[in-house]
Amino acid sequence: MFSQEELCRFLCIAKRSTYAAGDRAQKFIEADTSTTLIFEDGDWKYHDNYFGGEPFGGREVVFLKDRPIFIMTYYGGVDGTVSDIGAVYGFLRTALLLMPEAHPFRGPDEFSSSNFDYRNSYSGEISCFWGEETINSIDGTIIYRARYAGGLVDRRSSR
| The pLDDT of residue 157 | 67
What pTM was estimated for this model as a whole? Answer: 0.93
pLDDT at residue 158, as a whole number: 65
pLDDT of residue 133: 98
Among 130, 137, 155, which Cα is nearest to 64's? 155
What residue ranges do the domains of the chain occupy?
4-152
Question: Please, what sign has the CA dihedral across residues 135, 117, 50, 1?
Answer: negative
CA dist 99 and 129 (Å) reads 15
User: Could you read off the pLDDT of 104-140 as tens digits, one per residue?
Assistant: 999 999 999 989 999 999 999 999 999 999 999 989 9
Q: Which residues of the chain have pLDDT under 70?
A: 157-159
